[in-house]
């Protein structure tokens, strides 16, 4: 960066902590950083740092960001709103953007399915070497599609950043991450390192001598605060359940109106609810009533901020309609659907982003990502419906607000008969527990801390023992109960494979027919696993090791020297300089010397800072009108 005192303002919204400083050092040393941190560990800040480092050191930078289709717009928002970097989309539509010139700056966001867009052929023919490529594995609990990325792109880059918060469970998947720099890095000597060095459990050790990162602080490894709210299923629902065909169930188990044929469904299906309908629904649906009571009680504390997750849009809309009535009496609630934000106080209007500070409760599906910039500090996470995968469950726990992971209270529901939410908690999630950890790469999962998990697992294993010889009818019933859906593998094979993986992971020998004997092995094993970060060894057994980067030498050296880090000093100098701009003349003088290539980023971030900290109070266009002619 230049000596101009205001230029460092581009760093203003980025946390310059020891982990992010280490990330930049790794990227400089190895031309590549492979970040496998959990959600909530500031992936956005690292990406913004890499982009800013590139654009401030390169006359005409070319940057490519490869993510998943669902995250295209989220990444655009992160870059444009965070640092003023304006990326263009490359989509799978051949009629979409296909302009490219190697003689100008190029900022693109794309995804694997768009690799056939003609613009990539133009890029290949031009011989362009990207200045920076960022590959984001996304949020899929199925793991990063490394093979697809390798097959889809024929590119070269000077610097490479890989974000892989989720890695497939299969043996060898983590090692495949090293194939990305081997193929894509321009510097062959730097790429050579990755041919013999791959991620393993040492990635959780804070060291500058490796390009791999999977950091766990004491904050990350504290035991989570889990609350399970029990609710009673009424007789009408029980009767409807007994009359139900076993051949199909509502996949997510958390909405009786979607699963069963009930007389009350005519009220449930109303387009809008009034107070009478809401009171009737609360009297019938004890889970809904328990949710409203708990939320209302928590909101008595003015610092409470809640996010509630749903697995289906129908259930989200059900709760949204309930909360929008005066019968509930809750305000300042936002629903996130299909990339849009809706103000519950008037669900017919889109959310006004200027009111972010007033939000108390967010309702969201798992595949929506706009909510994480709405609240600073999420204090409580509700799972109104449970997902199929413990990885998705853990992602709900880890994804925080603007301040990242805040170790919120995690709240789930369980019906007294284990037919609905209880079925998901004790069957579907339990069956997938072994697949929530990776061979050789340490991780955590909140499901491991579920109360009574030893009983849950032993009961499930006893039920599935001998599945090789079950009748087809019994296998079908189990598939429905456990939400097993797969067209490439037989249901029987899936049941047996998952069952055996769980036995291997927890060190359970032979057949499981004695629940008490299984509990005697499971209880101490689970307790031991909870003490650290877990990974699968070569035999598929779960091992646990305590990791805390705060005790590592390199972490201590960086932490103690943060105040003298050049990048930190630039950030502080810029903040102080802008705070002293109490007149337009001073602001103009400060901005006048900004290099032409840096103006877009510096101007935007300076305006952002002035509004947030100095009461500037003008929109960006007004700001530009004030300074543009004289500065630009």
Walk me through the domains of the chain, giving residue ranges and CATH numbers: 17-218+549-560 (3.40.50.10810), 222-232+248-431 (3.40.50.300), 433-544 (no CATH), 572-631 (no CATH)
What letters, b where the CB count within 10 A reaches 16 and e where it falls short, cover 314-327?
A: ebbbbbbbbbbbeb
**Mean pLDDT of the chain, nearest integer:** 87
CA terminus-to-terminus distance, the chain: 20
Three-state DSSP state, 185: strand
* pLDDT the model gives residue 429: 96
Tokens of 483: 């939400």
Tokens of 623: 């700001």
Q: How far is CA 12 from CA 91, 560, 563, 609, in A?
A: 31, 21, 15, 7
* pLDDT the model gives residue 337: 66
Q: 130-134, 437-441, 580-584 — which is least confidently predicted?
A: 580-584
Residue 582: exposure state from Cβ atoms within 10 A (0-12, 13-18, ≥19): exposed
Residue 96: exposure state from Cβ atoms within 10 A (0-12, 13-18, ≥19): middle
* pLDDT the model gives residue 375: 72
Length of the chain: 632
304-328 pLDDT, tens per residue?
A: 999 999 999 999 999 999 998 887 8
State the DSSP code for 439: B
Question: Is residue 304 within 8 Å of residue 298, measured between CB atoms?
Answer: yes
Tokens of 417: 């008969």
Residue closest to 603 by CA, chosen among 572, 630, 566: 630
Share of the chain above pLDDT 90, in %: 54
Residue closest to 203 by CA, chosen among 216, 193, 212: 212
How far apart, in whole angstroms, are the C-alpha atoms of residue 287 and residue 51?
A: 46
Residue closest to 544 by CA, chosen among 211, 209, 221, 143: 221
Q: Mean per-residue pLDDT for 372-381?
A: 77
List of residues 6+ apart from 148 with CB closer than 8 A: 112
* pLDDT the model gives residue 345: 54
Q: Mean per-residue pLDDT for 120-136?
A: 94
* pLDDT the model gives residue 9: 87
Question: Is residue 137 within 8 Å of residue 164, measured between CB atoms?
Answer: yes
- Other beta carbons less than 10 A from residue 209's beta carbon: 9
List of residues 6+ apart from 24 with CB closer than 8 A: 49, 50, 53, 567
pLDDT exceeds cutoff 60 at 267? yes
Question: Is residue 448 within 8 Å of residue 526, measured between CB atoms?
Answer: yes
pLDDT exceeds cutoff 50 at 354? no
How far apart, in whole angstroms, are the C-alpha atoms of residue 629 and residue 631?
A: 6
Supply the pTM of this predicted model.
Answer: 0.87
Three-state DSSP state, 154: coil
Q: Mean per-residue pLDDT for 608-615?
A: 83
List of residues 6+ apart from 210 with CB closer than 8 A: 26, 197, 202, 203
Beta-bridged to residue 335, according to DSSP, are 342, 363
List of residues 6+ apart from 615 with CB closer than 8 A: none
Residue scoring higher pLDDT (600 or 292): 292
CA 363 to chain centre: 16
Question: Is residue 420 within 8 Å of residue 254, measured between CB atoms?
Answer: yes
How far apart, in whole angstroms, are the C-alpha atoms of residue 111 and residue 105?
A: 20
Residue 311: exposure state from Cβ atoms within 10 A (0-12, 13-18, ≥19): buried
Taking each helix axis as running N to C, give the angle between helix 72-83 and helix 43-55, from 0 to 180 degrees, rounded to the nearest 10: 60
273-296 pLDDT, tens per residue?
A: 999 999 999 999 999 999 999 999
Question: Is residue 288 within 8 Å of residue 323, measured between CB atoms?
Answer: no
How far apart, in whole angstroms, are the C-alpha atoms of residue 316 and residue 307?
A: 12
Taking each helix axis as running N to C, give the angle between helix 566-579 and helix 584-591, from 0 to 180 degrees, rounded to the nearest 10: 150
Tokens of 565: 């880090």
How far apart, in whole angstroms, are the C-alpha atoms of residue 78 and residue 82?
A: 5
Question: Is residue 158 within 8 Å of residue 184, measured between CB atoms?
Answer: no
List of residues 6+ apart from 18 with CB closer than 8 A: 555, 558, 559, 562
* pLDDT the model gives residue 439: 92
List of residues 6+ apart from 321 with CB closer than 8 A: 270, 272, 273, 347
Residue scoring higher pLDDT (301 or 70): 301
List of residues 6+ apart from 373 with CB closer than 8 A: 77, 81, 356, 401, 402
Q: How far is CA 183 from CA 116, 121, 186, 225, in A?
A: 19, 18, 9, 43
List of residues 6+ apart from 145 with CB closer than 8 A: 112, 137
pLDDT exceeds cutoff 90 at 141? no
pLDDT exceeds cutoff 80 at 39? no
How far apart, in whole angstroms, are the C-alpha atoms of residue 402 and residue 400?
A: 7
pLDDT exceeds cutoff 60 at 357? no
190-228 pLDDT, tens per residue?
A: 999 999 999 988 888 888 999 999 988 877 788 899 999
State the DSSP code for 401: B
pLDDT band at 13 (very low <50, low <70, confident <90, very high): confident
Residue scoring higher pLDDT (17 or 330): 17
User: Containing H/E element for 134?
Assistant: strand 132-136
How far apart, in whole angstroms, are the C-alpha atoms of residue 269 and residue 257?
A: 9
* pLDDT the model gives residue 627: 73
Residue 439: exposure state from Cβ atoms within 10 A (0-12, 13-18, ≥19): buried
How far apart, in whole angstroms, are the C-alpha atoms of residue 531 and residue 529?
A: 5
Half-sphere exposure of 542 (CA within 13 A, CB side): 29
- Other beta carbons less than 10 A from residue 485's beta carbon: 11
pLDDT band at 588 (very low <50, low <70, confident <90, very high): confident
Share of the chain above pLDDT 70, in %: 92
How far apart, in whole angstroms, are the C-alpha atoms of residue 482 and residue 486?
A: 12
Question: Is residue 628 within 8 Å of residue 31, measured between CB atoms?
Answer: no
How far apart, in whole angstroms, are the C-alpha atoms of residue 20 and residue 452?
A: 38
């Amino acid at each position: 960066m230049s000596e101009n005192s205001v230029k460092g303002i581009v760093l203003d919204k980025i946390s310059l902590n020891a982990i992010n400083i280490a990330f930049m050092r790794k990227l400089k040393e190895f031309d590549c950083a492979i970040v496998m941190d959990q959600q909530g560990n500031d992936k956005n800040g690292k990406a913004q740092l890499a982009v800013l480092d590139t654009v401030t050191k390169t006359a005409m930078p070319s940057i490519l960001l490869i993510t998943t289709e669902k995250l295209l717009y989220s990444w655009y928002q992160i870059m444009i709103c965070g640092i003023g970097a304006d990326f263009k989309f490359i989509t799978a539509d051949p009629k979409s953007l296909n302009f490219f010139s190697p003689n100008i700056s190029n900022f693109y966001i794309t995804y694997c399915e768009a690799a056939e867009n003609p613009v990539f052929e133009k890029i290949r023919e031009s011989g362009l070497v990207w200045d920076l490529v960022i590959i984001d594995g996304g949020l899929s609990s199925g793991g990063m599609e490394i093979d697809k990325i390798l097959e889809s792109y024929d590119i070269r880059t000077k610097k490479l950043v890989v974000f892989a918060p989720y890695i497939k469970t299969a043996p060898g998947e983590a090692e495949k991450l090293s194939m990305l720099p081997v193929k894509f890095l321009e510097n062959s000597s730097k790429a050579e390192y990755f041919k013999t060095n791959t991620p393993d459990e040492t990635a959780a050790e804070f060291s500058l001598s490796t390009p791999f990162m999977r950091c766990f602080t004491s904050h990350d490894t504290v035991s989570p605060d889990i609350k399970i709210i029990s609710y009673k299923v009424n007789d009408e629902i029980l009767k409807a359940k007994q009359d139900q065909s076993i051949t199909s169930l509502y996949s997510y188990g958390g909405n009786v109106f979607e699963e069963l044929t009930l007389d009350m469904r005519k009220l449930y299906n109303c387009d809008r609810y009034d107070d009478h309908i809401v009171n009737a629904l609360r009297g019938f649906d004890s889970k809904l009533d328990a949710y409203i009571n708990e939320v209302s009680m928590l909101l008595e504390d003015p610092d409470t901020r809640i996010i509630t997750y749903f697995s289906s849009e129908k259930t989200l809309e059900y709760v949204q309609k309930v909360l929008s009535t005066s019968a509930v009496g809750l305000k300042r609630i936002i629903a996130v659907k299909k990339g849009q934000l809706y103000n519950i106080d008037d669900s017919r209007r889109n959310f006004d982003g200027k009111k972010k500070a007033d939000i108390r409760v967010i309702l969201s599906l798992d595949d929506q990502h706009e909510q994480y910039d709405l609240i600073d500090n999420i204090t409580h996470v509700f799972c109104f419906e449970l997902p199929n995968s413990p990885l998705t469950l853990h992602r709900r726990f880890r994804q925080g607000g603007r301040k990242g992971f805040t170790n919120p209270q995690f709240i789930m529901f369980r019906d007294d008969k284990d037919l609905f939410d209880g079925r998901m908690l004790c069957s579907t999630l339990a069956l997938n527990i072994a697949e929530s950890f990776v061979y050789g790469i340490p991780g955590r999962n909140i499901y491991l801390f579920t109360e009574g998990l030893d009983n849950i697992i032993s009961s499930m294993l006893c039920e599935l023992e001998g599945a090789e010889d079950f009748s087809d009818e019994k296998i079908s019933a189990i598939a429905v109960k456990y939400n097993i859906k797969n067209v490439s593998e037989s249901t029987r094979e899936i049941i047996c494979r998952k069952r055996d993986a769980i036995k291997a992971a927890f060190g359970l020998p032979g057949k499981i027919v004695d629940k008490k004997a299984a509990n005697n092995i499971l209880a101490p094993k689970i307790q031991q696993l909870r003490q650290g970060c877990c990974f699968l060894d070569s035999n598929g057994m779960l091992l646990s090791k305590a990791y805390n980067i705060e005790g590592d030498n390199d972490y201590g050296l960086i932490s103690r020297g943060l105040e003298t880090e050049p990048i930190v000093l630039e950030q502080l100098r810029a903040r102080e300089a802008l705070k002293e701009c109490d007149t337009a003349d001073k602001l103009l003088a400060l901005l006048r010397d900004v290099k032409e290539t840096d103006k877009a980023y510096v101007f935007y971030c300076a305006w952002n800072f002035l509004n947030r900290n100095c009461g500037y109070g003008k929109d960006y266009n007004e700001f530009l009108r004030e300074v543009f002619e004289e500065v630009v």
